[in-house]
Amino acid sequence: MRTSFMVRTLTSMVLCVLLGTSVAAHPGSGIVVDKEGQVFFTDTGQGVWKIDRQGKLTYLPASLFHWMAIDEAGYFAVSQKNFGEWFERVTPQNSKPALIMSSDFPLTINRDGNLYYADTRPRSARIVRRTPDGKESVLAADEAFKGIAGIAAGPDGSLYITDANAIRKITMDGKVSQFASPEIIGSGKDRAINPPPESDASDCRGLAVDSGGIVYAAATGSRRVLKITPRGEVSTILQASSPWSPTGVAVFGGEVYVLEWQDAPPSLLETRRAWIPRVRKVGRDGKVTTLATVSRETTALASPQVKQENSSDLSTGVKIAVAAVVVLVVTTILGIKLAK
C-alpha cells in the first residue's frame, strides 16, 4: 500500500513537471536599448538579437528565455554566466552594459543597483530584491502577484508591474497601489475582431517608464501600446493590426521601441519558432517605423540553439515516455528497499 501511494505521487509529480513545460512557449517580452541607441530583444525561438544604429540585425547566442533587463552600470557584469536559480548573463563577463535574462520571471535593474524580479509561483508570489553579491529579500508579497507579466523601474526607484488585472506601482517601502485599471487596458477596438491567441482583453505584458514617470505598456490583449501619465491620462500611441501583437516596450531618447510577435497558427501555439518577432519604433512625432523582422528561413542555421529547439518543446508523447521510465526506475528501487 505504501509503495503504491508513493508511486502514484511520484507519477503525478513527474508528469506535472514534464507536461507543464510547454506553457513556456509563449513569446518573450524582453527589449532594451543601451546608451548608444542599440536595441536588444529576446527571441524565444532562437535567442537574443541586436539592432545597431545602422539597422543591422545581429544574432547573440543565448538561452531561449522570455525576459531581459539591461544593467548599464554593470552591477552584475562580474556575475557568473548563470547565477541565482533563474538568471543568465548574455554579455561577456565584466563588459558594460550587462544584459541579464530570466527563464521564468520578469526582472529589472533598479537605480539602487539591485535586481528586482517577480517570483510568480503560486502560494509564494512576491517581488524579490537581489543584490549583486547574491543576497535576496522580499519587497512585497501578495497572491495577486502570480499573474505578473512585466516589471520596470521608475525614475524615483518605484517599481511598476503588469498583471492579469491591472498595472500597479510598488514603492521601495513595499506599498502597493493601482496605477491603471483593467477597463483602461482592455478597451482596444481590435480585440473584439481578432484578439491574439489565448489572450484576454486586459492582458498586459512588458512596460517601461521614462524620466518623467510616464508609463508605456504593451497591452497585448488589445494589440496596443499605451501611454499613461502620472495624472492618469491614457492614450494609445500604437495600434497593431492582426496578426501582430506587442509584448514588450523600451524608451530611449523620447522614442518608444516595441517588440511585437506574429500570431502562431492554432496548431503551433506551443512551437517556439512558429512565433515571429519584429521591432518597431514610435518616433517623437508619432511616426511608426519597422526596424527589423526576424525571418525564420534566413536564420535557420544561425546558431546551434535552433537545431536543439530547446528541451521544453518535447512532444507530449516523449514526455510521457520519459515519465514512465523515471517512475519505473524509482519504483524498482523503492521495491528493493521495502523488501529489505
The C-alpha atoms of residue 210 and residue 208 are separated, in whole angstroms, by 7
This prediction has a pTM of 0.81
* 329 Cβ contact partners less than 8 Å away, ≥ 6 residues apart: none
DSSP label at 264?
Answer: P
Q: Which residues of 242-329 form beta strands (DSSP E)?
A: 244-252, 255-262, 276-282, 288-293
235: which 3 cell numbers?
A: 492614450
145: which 3 cell numbers?
A: 502577484
pLDDT of residue 36: 96
Q: Which long-range contacts (CB under 8 A, 24 or more apart) does 158-162 make?
A: 159/108, 159/110, 159/116, 159/127, 160/207, 160/209, 160/215, 161/106, 161/118, 161/127, 162/204, 162/205, 162/206, 162/207, 162/217
Q: Please provide the size of the chain in residues.
A: 340
pLDDT range class, residue 264, cuts 50, 70, 90: confident
pLDDT range class, residue 81, cuts 50, 70, 90: very high
H or E element at residue 254: none
- What's the pLDDT tens digit per position in 98-137? 999 998 999 999 999 999 999 999 889 999 999 999 999 9
Mean pLDDT of the chain: 82
Pick the residue with more confidence: 298 or 173? 173
Query: Percentage of the chain with pLDDT > 70?
Result: 74
pLDDT at residue 160 tops 90: yes
Q: Cell 517599481 sits at which residue?
A: 159
DSSP per-residue letters across 30-41: -EEE-TT--EEE
Strand order in the sheet with 31-33: 31-33, 39-43, 47-51, 57-60
pLDDT of residue 200: 74
Average pLDDT for residues 267-276, to the nearest whole number? 88
pLDDT at residue 331 tops 90: no
The C-alpha atoms of residue 92 and residue 100 are separated, in whole angstroms, by 11
**Pick from 11, 98, 3, 4: nearest CA to 325:** 11
pLDDT of residue 241: 92
Pick the residue with more confidence: 235 or 328? 235
pLDDT of residue 288: 98
The C-alpha atoms of residue 281 and residue 258 are separated, in whole angstroms, by 6
Pick the residue with more confidence: 163 or 261? 261
